Structure 1
């Protein structure tokens, strides 16, 4: 690949970085009311809703980390008057990477359990106990703990070490005294051989996880399509058409989420295995795509997270009712209080 083509592709990837930042902000703003709606009393009725609550919590953590990471690199990293590698910043990046990896992987698996539990409940009468609200939280807790341990296996191998050359402020930074300096810190490892073994295992786990997720989603989605068709027929013949239609819309909602999760997870798993088992030539398009691919995949994840609020609102009647209670309850209460005050004053007069 010649230098001109390389520069063009690199410029495109820089735009993706800006797009990722914007999508992460939008996703974070949308996920906050989404989480508030899912935690309403009227929504605490099934494991489907509690699992979606868990997904919203994980997405919120990842989206916040993406936003803060961009703020750091856009406004702090290139500032000559700020030590961008002091202990606190490096610790923040270290913890942020840990939470981001954990949250993304756990969110994908929570999506799998969302579809799987939905199918088990509709297919088997003995699986009705899985529909309990607290069962969904148990699934979320167990999934989160397992993924925390997986991330800890890798990130615990690092430690922060002071760099040999200290940081000094730029010439225009007049607020610092002459000759001022601070320690620079870097994330490093103790044993290179041990780290490479851990890195290989962690990459295999991550790749296998994403590949398995991207395979499970389409398979489960096919079964879910049959369930949706069955629900549609039931909705046209059942006495309780309202409940049957809600079940039908819930199935469609979960199916759409499964499709979006498949699109988001598959490229990441493929790229993981390419880097592990294929030799990527230096200066090639493939090397550039893999190098900057994590930004594109993260942008996809942010877009997927932002869509959950809109998907739920458009396809769930109960969700829309809970949303009205969240956003209009305060307005009704304030109107009622104003009316009572006016009546009280009129009565006095």
Structure 2
């Protein structure tokens, strides 16, 4: 009896999700447009010389680049693609547009993976800096050069993983090829399009190895490890914040430590919040990605999980808007740089004094 109820429940819930799907795509499109504008402004601010002073800030530049391109691909796919859920269902009468559509899916997964790993490196670098602010060995973790190295490493490593998927598919003329059954959700599978997406005509064993390699690497690198790392780093960051707050009220700090806190103290709350928001947005997608690895293609449960991704993508898009907003609210140096960029003058000196009178010293890092 339970086995009969469960599929009925899944099917009923999936029917509700399907009814709201068009509205969900529209909401995600609107949020993507807002996020694009916010992150372009965010990128302009954090690339100023006054902000490029630490590895954490440089990595934040990388995250903003990823968010900008992710929003551009989201906007393109909403305006140009027929099927917004399944990349294997790409069809077109234009050979050039086929490759534009393929690249849009490729860039989405590529920059999503890059963003997740840069956020992990941001939290890790911040945690290392906080471990012992008086130790000279931690100064290397704060150098902008390290941020550049990590950012390039993430871009190249993610490109290597994503390149496997690009190699396994090719554009073919639709002669005897048929679309996958799940493509019927968003398009007429009987209608003959000139070009469709298909696997490369290699041996079955070669196809299997390439596809499985990409799928395993993508699930591990893009979903599983970030899902574990983000909550763990969040707990460690919150723990370090509590330790530093307690030690400040009980111990007399040396001048070196105070100087380092003034340079690296304030962003801790901001980094913790960014890590928490990333965890809330990425972990559900990670769990779904892991679950899909063990579910057969074309089943109702697989389609149900794919529909859920649509709604969690809305949450992910919304979180990319919070990045520049939280930086503006919680970093004094960020606000100063934004004012200079917009040529807005302070109204009074008391406003600046009020900002500096906080529990955490003023800092330009996030």
CA distance in 1, matches of 2:244, 2:270: 13
Structure 2: gaps of 5 or more residues: 1-6, 83-90, 177-192, 346-366
TM-score (norm 2): 0.75
Of the candidates 274, 283, 303, which is equivalent to residue 257 of structure 1?
274
State the partner residue of 2:121: 113
**Unaligned stretches of 5+ residues in structure 1:** 75-82, 166-182, 331-349
Deviation (angstroms), 1:19: 1.3
303, 312, 334: which is aligned to 2:327? 312
**Deviation per residue, 1:42-79 (Å, 9 max, x gap):** 101111110000110011111111111111137xxxxx
Give the equivalent residue in structure 2 for 1:7. 15
1:327 matches 2:327: no
Match of 2:313 in 1: 298
CA distance in 2, matches of 1:276, 1:58: 26
Native 8 Å contact 1:231 1:247 kept in 2: no
Secondary structure at the counterpart of residue 81 of structure 2: helix
Give 1:276's aligned residue.
Answer: 293
User: Shift of residue 288 of structure 1?
Assistant: 3.6
User: Which of residues 198, 212, 227 is equivalent to 2:210?
Assistant: 198
**Counterparts of 1:245 and 1:45 in 2: how far apart (Å)?**
14
Report which stretch shifted further, 2-11 or 146-155: 2-11
> Is the counterpart of residue 156 in structure 1 residue 156 in structure 2?
no
Q: What's the counterpart of residue 157 of structure 2? A: 146
Deviation of 1:203 (Å)? 2.0
| TM-aligned CA deviation for residue 162 of structure 1 | 2.4
Question: Which one has a larger percent helix, Structure 1 or Structure 2?
Answer: 1
Deviations 1:84-123 (A, max 9, x none): 4301211101111111111000100000000001111221
Report the counterpart of residue 185 of structure 2 in structure 1.
Answer: none
How many aligned positions are there?
305
- Alpha-carbon RMSD: 2.9
Q: 1:123 to 1:241 in 2, by over 3 A?
A: closer
Question: C-alpha separation between the residues in 1 aligned to 2:210 and 2:309?
Answer: 20
Post-superposition offset of 1:207: 1.9
Task: Please name the residue that 1:188 is paired with.
Answer: 198
TM-score, normalisation: structure 1: 0.79
Q: How does 1:41-52 map to 2 (within 5 A)?
A: 41-52=49-60
| Cα distance in 2 for residues equivalent to 1:194 and 1:296 | 35
The alignment partner of 1:156 has SS state of helix
State which structure, 1 or 2, has the greater radius of gyration over its C-alpha atoms.
1
Distance in 2 (alpha carbons) for counterparts of 1:246 and 1:234: 18
Comparing 142-151 with 287-296, greater Cα deviation is found at 287-296
CA offset at residue 300 of structure 1? Answer: 2.4
Q: CA deviation at 1:187?
A: 2.0
